[in-house]
Amino acid sequence: MKGRQIILDHLGTREAAALMVDGRLEDLLIDSDAPRPGTIYRAVADRPVKGQGGLFLSTPDGTAFLRQVRGIAPGQSLLVQVTGYAEPGKAIPATQKLLFKSRYAIVTPEAPGINLSRQIHEDEERIRILAAADTARAEAAGYGIILRSACAGADADEIAEDVEAMLDLADTVLADAEGPAETLTEGDGPHLLAWRDWTDPADVETAPNGFERCGVLDALEALKSPRAPLPGGAFLFIEPTRALVAVDVNTGPDTSLAAGLKANMATARDLPRQLRLRGLGGQITLDLAPMPKKDRRGFETALRAAFRADSEETVLAGWTPLGHFELQRKRGRVPLREVLA
């Protein structure tokens, strides 16, 4: 099917959402048993981790870890937000920089100022959006507001209600900072995340068994294999280990002089989607197909452009002495193999 489809369904008892573009699975959100990113706790400081500049915290969902902290005494209450998923046996990653996100706005209590998405270019539209948002209340409270690209063309009343709801939530949470460990807000589930983040026009499918009708189940079956096809017969093997994610690029039947470069450029374009769908993060090492060193800059440019539009923060670490390319990617999702197990 041509065009964009958002399918809201369930995998067993787990809430799930899928984004299909021209019949290809582009994004996938599946709920898990782990604390959702965006969850806000009133946590209690436990003990510092010497040499790492961090601190363990007690939360209702287990131990959390906070990096780069000073001046926090054991037993002190503080507000923290879950930033990603923890590996098995490790503490929940958390931050003190709270963000209150919705479809049209992000309220940032620790970063005052009013910002409007740079994707909105027309001056009249920017003025209309700023007039719709209650920026005066945010400034009076010392909050910041980021007005997202979804505001473009949106109804002014909807923008105003959305901003108001996030400001109310921020007020409520920040006023509840003292006391024992408690969950103050839950992170958004897949259906809410789809509404919040997949804002481009799309057909929305909510009827039961939508995943089966729209081809999502077939795409999930293909993702169970470590092998991912690329154009021209090339392919990837994406294999997570305990320490890192190994990506092996193969040229397939192409034996031309440019086969390696073509396979590597195809990898650069498709790698963010593959990692996103498989829920993979952490250290990622690419064992690329052979190509001349003079083509490395072009590969890096293509890879950087591909990750610029991705949902998870990714750092391009660079080349190793053995000619591998390394990435560091935020663990923003539970690995697909765990939620489908």
- The pLDDT tens digits for 141-180 are 999 999 999 999 999 999 999 999 999 999 999 999 999 9
Q: Report d(CA 241, CA 170) in Å as an integer.
A: 39
Provide the domain count of the chain.
4
65 and 89 in a common domain: yes
**Same structural domain, 251 and 291:** yes
Q: What is the pLDDT of residue 340?
A: 85
Domain hosting residue 147, numbered range: 100-188
Residue 164, pLDDT score:
95
Q: Give the residue from 336, 4, 40, 3 showing the smallest Cα distance to 194.
A: 4
The band of 238, judged by pLDDT with boundaries at 50, 70 and 90, is very high
Residues 331, 273 share a domain = yes
Q: Are 216 and 231 part of one and the same domain?
A: no
pLDDT at 244: 95
In this prediction, residue 323 has a pLDDT band, given cuts at 50, 70 and 90, of very high
Q: What is the mean pLDDT of the chain?
A: 94
Q: What is the DSSP code (8-state) at residue 222? A: H
Residues 301 and 266 in one domain: yes
Question: Which pLDDT score, from 0 to 100, does residue 196 have?
Answer: 95
Domain boundary among 134, 169, 188: 188
Report the largest interatomic distance among the alpha carbons of the chain, rounded to a whole angstrom. 67
173 closest CA partner among 101, 85, 104: 101
Last residue of a domain, one of 95, 117, 141: 95
Claim to verify: residue 233 and residue 315 sit in the same structural domain:
yes
- The helix or strand, by DSSP H or E, that contains position 14, with its residue range, turns out to be strand 14-21
Specify the pLDDT at position 126: 94
- CA–CA separation, 235 and 228 (whole Å): 6
Give me the pLDDT at residue 142, please: 93
- Residue 236 is predicted with a pLDDT of 96
Task: Say which CATH number the domain at 253 has.
Answer: 3.40.630
Mean pLDDT of 277-285: 96
pLDDT at 51 over 80: no
Examine the pLDDT at 1 and tell me if it is beyond 80. Answer: no
State the pLDDT at residue 327. Answer: 97
pLDDT of residue 15: 97
Q: Are residues 51 and 109 in the same domain?
A: no
**232 and 327 co-located in one domain:** yes
Would you say 237 and 250 are in contact if contact means Cβ atoms under 8 Å apart? yes
Any idea what the CATH number is for the domain that residue 82 is in?
2.40.50.140
In this structure, of 105-109, 130-134, 189-193, 215-219, the range with the lowest mean pLDDT score is 130-134
10 token code pair: 């369930």
Say what the pLDDT of residue 98 is.
Answer: 97
Q: Do 24 and 76 share a structural domain?
A: no
Convert the pLDDT of each residue in 12-28 to its tens digit.
999 999 999 999 999 99
| 117 shares its domain with 175 | yes
First to last CA, the chain: 29
Share of the chain above pLDDT 90, in %: 87
Identify the residue with better confidence: 77 or 341.
77
Average pLDDT over residues 296-321: 95
Domain boundary among 188, 208, 237: 188
Res 107: pLDDT: 96
Predicted pLDDT at 267:
97
Cβ-contact 44, 61 below 8 angstroms: no
Distances (CA, A) of 220 to 29, 32, 224, 262: 12, 16, 7, 26
Q: Do 325 and 318 contact (CB within 8 A), yes or no? A: yes
Give the pLDDT confidence score for residue 135 in this predicted structure: 86
Assign 271 a pLDDT band (cuts: 50, 70, 90). very high
Place of tokens 């400081």: 45
Helices (H), the chain: 123-132, 135-141, 156-174, 190-197, 210-213, 216-223, 259-278, 296-308, 336-339
pLDDT score recorded for residue 190: 97
Which neighbouring-strand residues pair with 20? Answer: 5, 25
Residue range 262-290: average pLDDT? Answer: 97
Q: Is the pLDDT of residue 222 over 80?
A: yes
| Domain containing residue 116: CATH number | 3.30.230
pLDDT value at residue 68 = 73
Model pLDDT, residue 59: 96
Q: Is pLDDT of 337 > 80?
A: yes
**Do residues 71 and 21 both lie within one domain?**
no
CB 12 within 8 A of CB 217: no
Question: Measuring CA to CA, how many Å separate 340 from each of 75, 104, 269?
Answer: 38, 32, 26
- pLDDT tops 90 at residue 341: no
pLDDT of the residue at 54:
87
Over residues 115-130, mean pLDDT: 94
Query: Is 74 found in the same domain as 12?
Result: no
